[in-house]
Amino acid sequence: MGDELIIRPMVSADLEAIRDITWRGWDDVTWWELLERRHGPWTAKSWRDRKAESVVAQCSSAPDTVLVAELGGRVVGYATFHYTPEDRLGEVGNNCVDPQFRGRGIGTRLIAAVLQKLRELGAKVVTVTTMERDLPARRVYEKNGFVELGKSLVYSLQFD
């Protein structure tokens, strides 16, 4: 019998696993990586450092807006969210599943749990933004009932 997947609120002891999953899990799906490919590294910080630091900073400062997926006692994924009560607007934030554990429905379960949380908080409408190229994320969102609203474009330039 396989281990049961548990989706639960984050605790501070999860931060190291969140950092590790972020470090390994975001290839090809961050603007920071695409910027680095186009412009080269322009500070000592790589896109991986930047992504890991920003996710860890967000999770440290607002741990009550983070859910983690745990399998057999190991954290294998996370999802963050944001809620604006005055607008009754929810937003799904960073979410990532350890590459070794993908394709088993964990990402779908995490987003379902975030949606449940936002519903309980009083949200009426929930948004999520992803890259057009991020087909697994799009599938996960669509499986959870999201419908595409529109596309936006990101430009970059480099000073001499």
The binding site for ligand COA (CB under 6 A) comprises 25-26, 29, 95-97, 102-108, 130, 134-137, 139-140
Choose between 82 and 102: whose C-beta lies nearer to ligand COA: 102
To ligand COA, the closest distance from the beta carbon of 80 in angstroms equals: 10
Choose between 27 and 87: whose C-beta lies nearer to ligand COA: 27
42 sits in the region (left: phi over 0; alpha: psi -120 to 50; else beta) called alpha
Report d(CA 7, CA 5) in Å as an integer: 7
To ligand COA, the closest distance from the beta carbon of 86 in angstroms equals: 25
Q: Where are the beta strands (DSSP E) in the chain?
A: 5-9, 66-71, 74-84, 89-97, 125-127
Choose between 33 and 134: whose C-beta lies nearer to ligand COA: 134
